[in-house]
Amino acid sequence: MSKRQASEALEDIASPASKRSRLDFDTPEPGTEELINETNTNGNAQEVDDDDDFEDQETIPAAPIRQSAPTEGYDDLYLDTIDRNVLDFDFEKLCSVSLSNINVYACLVCGKYFQGRGPKSHAYFHSLDEDHHVYINLESQRVYVLPEGYEVKSRALEDIKYVADPRYTKKEVIEMDRTRRTSQTLDAKEYIPGFVGMNNIKENDYFNVVVQALAHVAPLRNYLLLEDFSSKTELVKRASILVRKIWNPRAFKAHVSPHELLQEISLRSNKRFNLTSQSDPVDFLSWFLNNLHLGLGGSKTKPGSSMIQRTFQGKMKIESQAITARADATDRLRFEDADVKVDIVRFLLLTLDLPSTPLFQDELEKNIIPQVPLTTILTKYDGQRAQEHHAQRKRYRLMHPLPPILRST
């Protein structure tokens, strides 16, 4: 049998590639070298980018997980970091960073005030930066742990809540004047509630004496201790808080600071009364009582419309007679009788005439201070003794019923 002829010459057909070892690297064909280089370059760049992303994930810490309740078995976590010695709730409730008075919290570790407790608040950042985790809301007295955000309901914090906002029962108020109670501060120093010192911040001693006196007027004190003033003016609320702190039987220290009330008084009086300059205590007392009266909802025309007027306001009858003089035919001085004018006025404060300072000194070269009974000074208001003042003869008489508390200067 004859062989079939090949359709193509053997030399024109490409022979199969020879087998090579797998350890050898193939030599790239011409024209494919640039494609391979671009592919390798993109792959390396992708690997570098992946490495950078991995490093970034390692350097950025994960945000703390917000919790609605503490982890089981860790209810008292962070409570051992609270420092009661640095806590001072007497200052005005302003954020130490933003100076805002809205939603202010106090750090129970360092005592500073911060606004809010959300993830972007100053208190939240303080908890992360300083590792301080326990905060109390100065309005609601609720305690929270940050940055987790859950509320702490441990009874171990009741003493702090009481110091921040003391509250009294009617029975406790009644016992204040019946029994003398001695308390102790954190450093075991004894003090008597109601008889504690007030900080003289700069020039506010005139304010301190007035508040100390009013804090011991039983009807007004009991009213400020027991009533709820959440709907009243800020002046009334701060006055109530200061009086409650003066009578606090569980205080951390044996003194209080009037800073918070002073700031409100300075604002309302247009800096007429402030902590940097002296003022007349009588002038301040009159202003303070009148503004408390208005803050409690009292009327400017209706008497007895607030606790201030029911406690201090009284009535007085004033008889006035003009003094006129002329010379008669014999050149003698004669006083003509004039009609007596009678007025009924209301008062909050009586002015007493004290005896003048003696001209001569005693053997110790000191002025002798005259001792005059109070009843003698009050004879000015018996309605019988006339006093001459600005070409008028006047007589004063207190009318019944007398006010429960009679204030005089």
What domains lie within the chain, and their CATH numbers?
A: 79-162 (3.30.40.10), 166-299 (3.90.70.10), 313-399 (no CATH)
pLDDT digits (tens, 9 = 90+) for 298-337: 888 888 889 999 999 999 998 888 877 665 556 555 555 6
Say if CB 89 and CB 139 are below 8 A apart: no
Would you say residue 405 has pLDDT above 70? yes
Q: Does pTM surpass 0.85? A: no
| pLDDT tens-place string over residues 352-366 | 888 777 776 666 666
Mean pLDDT of 98-123: 93
% residues pLDDT > 90 (the chain) = 44
Residues 159-167 have a mean pLDDT of 93
* Helix 259-268 × helix 234-246 angle, to 10°: 150
How confident is the model at residue 129, as a pLDDT? Answer: 92
Instruction: For residues 340 and 390, give the distance between their C-alpha atoms in angstroms, rounded to a whole number.
Output: 15
Of the pLDDT bands very low, low, confident and very high (cuts 50, 70, 90), residue 27 is very low
Average pLDDT over residues 125-133: 92
CA distance 307 to 293: 7
- Judged by average pLDDT, the poorest of 11-20, 223-232, 273-282, 301-310 is 11-20
Check pLDDT > 90 for residue 247.
yes
Map tokens 């201070």 to a residue. Answer: 369
Kindly indicate the confidence band of residue 184, based on its pLDDT and cuts at 50, 70 and 90.
very high
* pLDDT-wise least confident of 1-10, 77-86, 150-159: 1-10
CB crowding 29-53: b at 16 or more within 10 Å, else e: eeeeeeeeeeeeeeeeeeeeeeeee
Can you give the pLDDT at residue 325?
A: 63
Structure tokens that stand for 326 in this block: 């002329």
The answer on pLDDT for 177 being more than 60 is yes
Query: Cα 209 vs. chain centroid, distance in angstroms?
Result: 21
CA–CA distance, 315 with 396 (Å, rounded to integer): 11
Asked whether residue 341 carries a pLDDT value surpassing 50, the answer given is yes
pLDDT of residue 123: 93
Q: And the tokens for 323?
A: 């003094």
Chain segment 203-234, per-residue pLDDT in tens: 899 999 999 999 999 999 999 999 999 899 99
Strand partners, 136: 106, 143
State percent of the chain over pLDDT 70.
76
Tell which residue, 199, 165, 193, 164, has the closest CA to residue 179: 193
**Position 20 pLDDT exceeds 80:** no
Residue 166 pLDDT > 90, yes or no? yes
55: confidence class by pLDDT, cuts 50, 70, 90: very low
Q: Which two tokens stand for residue 241?
A: 């808080």
